[in-house]
Structure 1
Amino acid sequence: MPGAGLSAAARAALLQRLTRRGGASAPEAAAESPGRDLSTLPGLRDIEMVREAGAALGLESPYFRPHDGVAGAHSVIGGRDCVNFASYNYIGLNGDPRVAAAAKAAIDRHGVSASASRLASGERPVHGELEAALAANYEAEACLAFVSGHATNVTVIGHLLGARDLILHDQLIHNSVAEGARLSGARRIAFPHNDWRAAERELAAHRARHGRALIVIEGHYSMDGDVPDLGRFAEMARRHDALLMVDEAHGLGVLGATGRGSFEQCGVEPGAVDIWMGTLSKTLSGCGGYIAARRPLIELLRHSAPGFVYSVGLAPPLAAASLESLRVMQAEPERVARLQGNAALFLALAREAGFDTGASAGLGIVPVILGSSVAAARMAAALFEAGVNVQPILFPVVPERAARLRFFLSSEHTEEDILRTVAALVAARDGLRAG
């Protein structure tokens, strides 16, 4: 085991360095004036700290590994086939011949790029077809597709809300929502994870002093794999004259009997949510984001949202791939059933083996919480050696006590893949304890 020869004192010191921001020695200063010295950029010390800690442990960085071919339930990394749990290819459509054929046909018809903003240079028919299909999934009046999922939240939230407004969001909300809220200038309040009662207390206490209020939650949280009580949040929004926005990045294709998302999973009418946001890069095998909502909101965004008006339109082959993926998902709900079955099996076996899987619902995402960044990094390295690719999530992305491995399941994983992986987890844990 790399780094196993470290003494207990050395390991404790290393953990302290790994978990204390700014604890690493600063990179050697460049021979530049202070205003031009890029070695003092904020955050650079933290990156160097993590690099030094990994080197001291003898651990290779698990990030930015090149995958040779389609990264699905299996992937080839460094010439070696691995069981892969680091992909959002939930129902196995990235690499599906029908999806690839749709993308190639769009290239033949429209070329690779939209070249400019859709407002400036015009639409491609596939843009409207994709947006109509997504709107239908949410029973919404209209939909608008953006070139980036992250930018969708940033530009939409940043554009819709202002300094007189209020934004309440789950404390585990995605960075893109937090960045959009910061850009808007609205008052921002984070409530404890999935605690609708705490959210309502905050809303009741502050609503009267603000113009508009927006509640933002995720339909399926990517760190914990859990699902909010969507009905409670919808009722709360109505009672307090607030808008409800749900980020479905990890919900579409994962939640509900046919993969329509969190409203199907929770038995809530989709119209109870004012703004549906999602991404095209996961279940839908493309790249970009979308907003599905009532028509006046979509018309406003289409003509004035900076991330749409001043950005290149979604590439036609990506729009075509996402549209075909959505059609396959709707025609083959058995893919969603296989995904959910695999996730439930993995969750049950991991818990039976004594691992902390938090509040995961076992629908597509299962964390294995180890409570130590060093332990998570070592476990990930041991698993990779055993032919299992899974990413560690370390401090400061999560609190040190919540450091974890994060498993993204796919409909294409086999029972053998899952049994092998849990056995490798147990072996890695036992090896660490022995070491």
Structure 2
Amino acid sequence: MLTRAARISPGSVADTYPAILTGYDAYIHNSAFQGISHTKAVRFQYRHNDMDHLEQLIQKAVGQYQTVFIISEGIFSMDGDICNLPRLVEIKHKYGGLLYIDEAHSIGVLGKTGGGVCQHFNIDPTEVDVLMGTLSKSLVSCGGYIAGSKILIDYLKFKSEGFIFSTGISPPNVAASLGALEIMINEDWRLKRLGENAEYILEALKSRSIDTGLSKSTPIIPINVGKENTAIQLSLYLNENAILAAPIIPPAVPENESRVRLFISALHKKEQLDYTTEKIIEGLEKLRAG
């Protein structure tokens, strides 16, 4: 199902099931959290990517709810790490639950042909009840999509306010995303190069003792600096040196967890990545010196 808005809230899905218990990763995108916060579902937060904690919390509620609805992201947008999809699927089956994965940052990035987190782990996509994504990143357009069973999609078309009270996506937007999909499938060297570039700069930064947090060789690499003003000043310094890297500050991240976020491209050259690494180090040194 294609939508004009980039995101269909998981709340739209949660409301389709009675007596639902919703568990969400602590690092899910704010739009997902806002969606479920407006539902009637009882909800709980589990520690980031901590599958044991998720299962412990589900076990405490077994028998009290008809369905458990688990929400996670493919690649986490602020940290660049990947969800533990094999365990999520395992837990979903063990407790007869439903699984919702936000693929906004993983489609076109993970998997041999950019098929996303399911392709990355070689898991049948039908094991995930709802796969949601945006057309505005790897798919170079505007709008979003949601994939699931025919019953679920038909229901959302009649019940999702985000779909009902908006106009359809435009044909040029669809054509642009279809073109991007063709490139992803037919030019898989881009995905290979993307992975190589991400790993190259991540290792370079780590070797220079730069805090890159949880990033795991994905194109999202945070430069964790803590203070909000430090993130803003580092971003400005990089911009002055022809490097576009936005500051991520509260409320997008918790207090004292501000960062500058890098997005790596398949078309970046090693020289550009080396230059970026040096400018990050240079900028941090200048800020520390006052």
How high is the TM-score relative to the length of structure 2? 0.95
Q: Judge conservation of contact 1:159–1:305 (CA < 8 Å) in 2.
A: no
Q: How does 1:349-364 map to 2 (within 5 A)?
A: 349-364=204-219
Return the letter of the residue paired with 2:71: V
- Deviation of 1:277 after TM superposition, in Å, equals 0.8
1:337 pairs with 2:192: yes
Q: What is the number of residues matched between the two proteins?
A: 290
Q: Supply the distance in 2 between the matched residues of 1:366 and 1:412 (Cα, whole angstroms).
A: 16
Matched with 2:236 is 381
Matched with 1:293 is 148
Matched with 2:16 is 160
- Deviation of 1:305 after TM superposition, in Å, equals 2.2
**Structure 1 residues 376, 338: CA separation in 2 closer, same or farther (over 3 Å shift)?**
same
1:149 pairs with 2:6: yes
**Structure 1 residues 373, 182: CA separation in 2 closer, same or farther (over 3 Å shift)?**
same
**Superposition CA RMSD, Å:** 1.5
1:193 pairs with 2:48: yes
Q: Supply the distance in 1 between the matched residues of 2:225 and 2:167 (Cα, whole angstroms).
A: 42
Matched with 2:286 is 431
Q: How does 1:148-227 map to 2 (within 5 A)?
A: 148-150=5-7, 152-153=8-9, 156-157=12-13, 159-161=15-17, 164-227=19-82
Q: Supply the distance in 2 between the matched residues of 1:296 and 1:428 (Cα, whole angstroms).
A: 53
Matched with 1:420 is 275
Q: How does 1:238-387 map to 2 (within 5 A)?
A: 238-387=93-242
Q: Supply the distance in 1 between the matched residues of 2:263 and 2:139 (Cα, whole angstroms).
A: 15
Partner of 1:209: helix, strand, or coil? coil
Q: Judge conservation of contact 2:4–2:144 (CA < 8 Å) in 1.
A: yes
Describe the superposition over 1:167-221 as per-residue Cα deviations: whole angstroms up to 9, x where unpaired: 1000111112112212222111111000111111111111421232210100000
Q: Supply the distance in 2 between the matched residues of 1:288 and 1:155 (Cα, whole angstroms).
A: 18
Q: Supply the distance in 2 between the matched residues of 1:420 and 1:290 (Cα, whole angstroms).
A: 37
Q: How does 1:16-55 map to 2 (within 5 A)?
A: none
- Deviation of 1:386 after TM superposition, in Å, equals 1.5
Q: Judge conservation of contact 2:11–2:36 (CA < 8 Å) in 1.
A: no
Q: Judge conservation of contact 1:168–1:189 (CA < 8 Å) in 2.
A: yes
Q: Judge conservation of contact 2:15–2:40 (CA < 8 Å) in 1.
A: no
**Structure 1 residues 397, 303: CA separation in 2 closer, same or farther (over 3 Å shift)?**
closer
Partner of 2:48: helix, strand, or coil? coil
Matched with 1:398 is 253
- Deviation of 1:261 after TM superposition, in Å, equals 0.6
Partner of 2:141: helix, strand, or coil? coil
* Structure of higher CA gyration radius: 1
Higher normalized contact order (CA 8 Å, seq sep 6+, divided by chain length): 1
- Deviation of 1:293 after TM superposition, in Å, equals 1.2
Unaligned runs of 5+ residues in structure 2 are: none
Q: Supply the distance in 1 between the matched residues of 2:10 and 2:64 (Cα, whole angstroms).
A: 24
- Deviation of 1:155 after TM superposition, in Å, equals 6.0
1:232 pairs with 2:87: yes
Return the letter of the residue paired with 1:315: S
Return the letter of the residue paired with 2:3: F
Describe the superposition over 1:386-424 as per-residue Cα deviations: whole angstroms up to 9, x where unpaired: 221111112332223321111011112111211111111
Q: Supply the distance in 2 between the matched residues of 1:159 and 1:185 (Cα, whole angstroms).
A: 7
How high is the TM-score relative to the length of structure 1? 0.64
Q: Supply the distance in 2 between the matched residues of 1:262 and 1:153 (Cα, whole angstroms).
A: 19
Partner of 1:176: helix, strand, or coil? helix
Partner of 1:383: helix, strand, or coil? helix
Describe the superposition over 1:120-155 as per-residue Cα deviations: whole angstroms up to 9, x where unpaired: xxxxxxxxxxxxxxxxxxxxxxxx1111123x1256
Q: Supply the distance in 2 between the matched residues of 1:241 and 1:300 (Cα, whole angstroms).
A: 21
Q: Judge conservation of contact 2:14–2:69 (CA < 8 Å) in 1.
A: no
- Deviation of 1:158 after TM superposition, in Å, equals 5.6
Describe the superposition over 1:67-123 as per-residue Cα deviations: whole angstroms up to 9, x where unpaired: xxxxxxxxxxxxxxxxxxxxxxxxxxxxxxxxxxxxxxxxxxxxxxxxxxxxxxxxx
Partner of 1:400: helix, strand, or coil? coil
Q: Judge conservation of contact 2:12–2:35 (CA < 8 Å) in 1.
A: yes
- Deviation of 1:309 after TM superposition, in Å, equals 2.5
Return the letter of the residue paired with 2:2: A
Q: Judge conservation of contact 1:380–1:392 (CA < 8 Å) in 2.
A: yes
Return the letter of the residue paired with 2:9: N
Partner of 2:132: helix, strand, or coil? strand
Partner of 2:76: helix, strand, or coil? coil
- Deviation of 1:270 after TM superposition, in Å, equals 1.7
Structure 1 consecutive aligned stretches of length 4 or more whose deviation exceeds 6 Å: none
